[in-house]
Amino acid sequence: MDTIEPLSQGIGATSAKIIEMTKKLVDTGYAYASDGNVWFDVIKDEDYGKLSNRKVEQQESGTRSLEGRRKRNAADFALWKAAKPGEPKMGFAVGRGTPRLAHRVLRHEREVPRETFDIHGGGMDLMFPHHENELAQSESATGKQFAKYWLHNGLTRMPTKLPGGQIKMEKQSKSLGNTIDARKLIEDNGPDLVRYLLIGTHYRSPIDFTDQTMANVKKALMVFTRLFERIERLGKKA
């Protein structure tokens, strides 16, 4: 793995950086090649799991085992996957494949490359394994802190009726067909109610779109509306 094969035509600078970073992780022992794939070795990263506060043993039990029979550890994740028929390919010393490692080049006002985020955010469901893996691969490659602050927001959820009549709250997802259009939500309830719903919920807590939730928000908002009306009347009398 001392050489990198020529890249496919049309591959840009970002893809070249991905290959460069993957190779660096292999050269430093944080990653290894197996059957055309390159896996990140979670055991080599002593801090792996620090974001989600999960131990490797816990992570292994929840990790998909597909295509993982040639991995050293069940929790090892892919930096480079051998291309399947019909997939776009680019050259790398371990074989033709597709990159899975996300490479970001941060710049400030003077266009000097940086390797640390001030704030990294995303949904609570991305903390593990996506952000955990992103953190591990980036800090292992650069030796620098990847993000100063992590902000993970709670999910918006909708009630789903289960067999037997029980109700389960599930996150909104296009695949489940339970999403709410933001414009329609505002049209049906008004912008003030939507604002109150959002600011009245801690950013790490889920927002449940149920009839009871909307009724409670309307009632709470009405208290403020009446208070403002009373203040306005008192102001006119003064």
CATH number for the domain including 131?
A: 3.40.50.620
The domain of 48 spans 13-153
Distance (Å, rounded) from C-alpha 43 to C-alpha 21? 19
Examine residue 183 and state whether it is found in any structural domain, yes or no: yes
Task: Indicate if 37 and 139 belong to the same structural domain.
Answer: yes
Task: Indicate if 35 and 130 belong to the same structural domain.
Answer: yes
DSSP strand pairing (77-82 vs 37-40): antiparallel
Examine residue 219 and state whether it is found in any structural domain, yes or no: yes
Q: Which residue spans within 77-178 are E strands per DSSP?
A: 77-82, 97-99, 106-107, 113-114, 117-123, 147-153, 156-161, 167-171
DSSP string, 168-235: EEEE--TTTT----HHHHHHHH-HHHHHHHHHTS-TTS-EE--HHHHHHHHHHHHHHHHHHHHHHHHH
Examine residue 180 and state whether it is found in any structural domain, yes or no: yes
Domains identified in the chain, total number: 2
pLDDT (tens digit per residue) in 80-98: 888 776 665 665 555 555 5
Q: Which of 44-58, 70-84, 86-100, 219-233 bottoms out in mean pLDDT, i.e. has the lowest?
A: 86-100
Examine residue 41 and state whether it is found in any structural domain, yes or no: yes
CA distances from 145 to 17, 119, 134, 148, 183 (A): 19, 12, 12, 7, 39
Task: Indicate if 176 and 82 belong to the same structural domain.
Answer: no
> Are the CB atoms for 42 and 136 separated by under 8 Å?
yes
pLDDT (tens digit per residue) in 2-32: 333 444 444 566 677 788 888 899 999 999 9
Task: Indicate if 115 and 198 belong to the same structural domain.
Answer: no
Task: Give yes or no for residue 238 having a pLDDT over 50.
Answer: yes
Task: Indicate if 160 and 148 belong to the same structural domain.
Answer: no
pTM of the model: 0.75
